[in-house]
Structure formats: C-alpha cells, structure tokens
Amino acid sequence: MLSAALALIGALVYGSADFLGGLAARRLRSIVVTAVAALSGLVALVVAQPLLGGEWTGADLAWGVLGGVVSVVAIALLYASLAVGPMSILSPLTAVVSAIAPMLWGLLVNGEALAPLGYAGLALALVAVVLVGFIPGERIVRPTVRGLVMALGAGLAIGAFLIIVDQTSDDSGLAPLVASRATSGVITVAVVGAIALAALRRGRPARSVLGVAGPPLGAMPSGHADLEHATTGSIAAAPSAARAWWLAAVCGVADAAANALMLLALREGDLSIVSALTALYPAGTILLAAVVLRERVAAVQWTGLGLALLAGGMLALA
C-alpha cells in the first residue's frame, strides 16, 4: 500500500514539474529549460542526500550514470516525436509504452506476482494513462512511421530509466539519483554550450540561443512533456524571462522530488505497480491547469482521473 501511495504521489509531482517546465518553455528553448532543471534538481538531491544517508558504491553510481544517459535519450526522442506529431496519439503512446516496458520486466524478469485484483488494476491503469494523456481539440491525423518509432523509443527509454533505478541497492540512498542528475546535467549543458558556440560562429550573440526556437515543446528531465501548456494553443501567456528561469529551476526541484518518491516506491514495492502508477503523471498537469490557469478539463480526462484513482486503490490492495 505504501509503495502504491508513493508512486501515485510521485506521478502527481512529476506532472507538476512538467507543468512548470512547460510554462518556462514558452519563453526559453526546451533544452535550456531541461539543463536548468537538471542543475537545480542536482542541487536539491545533493542537499537531501545526507539527510537520508546511504552508501556510495561504484555499482550504484554506474547505474545512476547509465540512468542519466538514458533520460537524455528519452528527452531527445520525445522532443523529436512531438515535433513530428500528432501529439494526441504520440503522447499517450509514449506514456503507455513507458508503463508497459518496466511492467513486463517486473512480471517476467523479476518474477513479481500479483493477486487477480492487482492484474485488473494494472489493466485499468493503462486505460487511465491513455485517457488522462489525451489532448482534446487537436485534429487527429495519421502518425508517420518516423513519429511512431520515435514515440516508441521515448517510451522505452523512460521505462528503461525505471528499470535501471530498480537495479540499485536499497542502502544507496539518493546516490544513484545524484549520479543520474549530474550526468544529464553535464550532457544538456554541453548541448546548450555547443548551440551557443555555433551561434557565435555565425556572428550571433550566444544569448540568442536561449529563447524559444520553433515549436515550444516542453521536454523535461524526466523525459515527460507538458503538452497542454507548452504548445502554442495554450491560453497561458508566456512568462517574463526572469520568471521563466525561476520556473525552470523550480521544475527541476519538483522533478528531483518525484524521482526520489519513485525510488522510495520501488524499494518498498514492485516495479510493475510503480511503473503503472508513475505513468499517470499527466494527472498532476491537468489538475494544476484547472486550479492555476482555470482551464477546462475535458470529460475524457475526468474519466481518466477517476480510473486512475480506482486503479491506484486496486494496486494498493493487491
């Protein structure tokens, strides 16, 4: 029960992080938001690590570094797939794959076994993921093979991150997450630096690359995206430059907190359950949008939220 509760709360926090990052991505380039969030999340994890304790072993740090690399791959594939579209299909597809991949790993590789109620809860959670992640109002068009492949790759990469974190030892504390966030931070900062250097070579100021270039899709350090508020169709106005930097930093702290909750959930329970509930992260985005931006929540999304709560309760009792 504790594991399911932690995973569900973590999903809501993930959604909150993506909401903040999506707003920041209306002013700043997505990779810049990701880099800032990675660094602020790293600081938060470094501060929290001594409070939780844990041993720093080479194996756990290696898993963390691998997780950081995989998370960057997830971000790149997600951003590319969303740019191709259609988001209304590729976003739920990515979320479902990100749940199914570690779910199957837990059941088939780890040998996890659930009560019949648990298997029903997993199936219900997958339905909820699709409904909650649906983007009402977007014109549904047939996705390209390229878009489908990248969406599948993004989902597999997100799922792989959960599998990797699950391999770390229980007494490692937050050390794997620190290593993961440091790795993703180094990579994303290097990418921003390379883009700035290329701008300088073309005679443009380095700061010119910080602003939004192209569709403002918010690809976050988690490999998730806030599609509702990072796209041009959102009613939310773009924040000021200073506010966008703060939003990106707070996004990183929230994302780090979600990672920590996910890690604790994995150490308390089964990967299959945690992965299914973590994939419900759009619920946090939707609820924040309703409260903060007073946006209307579509009936299909309310249905998904209801099914998500029901699935969470079933998995907690499994």
Q: How far apart are CA 41 and CA 39, in angstroms?
A: 5
Structural tokens at position 305: 């939220």
Helices (H), 25-138: 30-52, 58-84, 87-104, 116-132
> Mean pLDDT in runs of 10 for the chain (318 residues)?
86 85 80 89 93 86 95 83 69 82 90 87 86 65 80 89 93 93 94 88 79 56 50 54 89 93 92 88 76 74 84 78
Q: Residue 134: what pLDDT?
A: 67
Q: Are 267 and 171 in contact (CB under 8 A)?
A: no
Residue type, 242: A
Helices (H), 231-270: 241-268
Residue 224 sits at φ, ψ, to 5 deg, of -95, 180
DSSP state of 106: I
Q: How far apart are CA 216 and CA 49, in angstroms?
A: 34
Q: How far apart are CA 26 and CA 241, in angstroms?
A: 10
Q: Residue 312: what pLDDT?
A: 81
Through-space distance between the first and last CA atoms of the chain, rounded to whole angstroms: 8
Q: Which of 17, 5, 13, 7 is nearest to 218 (CA)?
A: 17
Q: Residue 190: what pLDDT?
A: 93
What global pTM score does this model have? 0.84
Cis peptide before 86 (omega within 30 of 0): yes
Q: Residue 206: what pLDDT?
A: 74
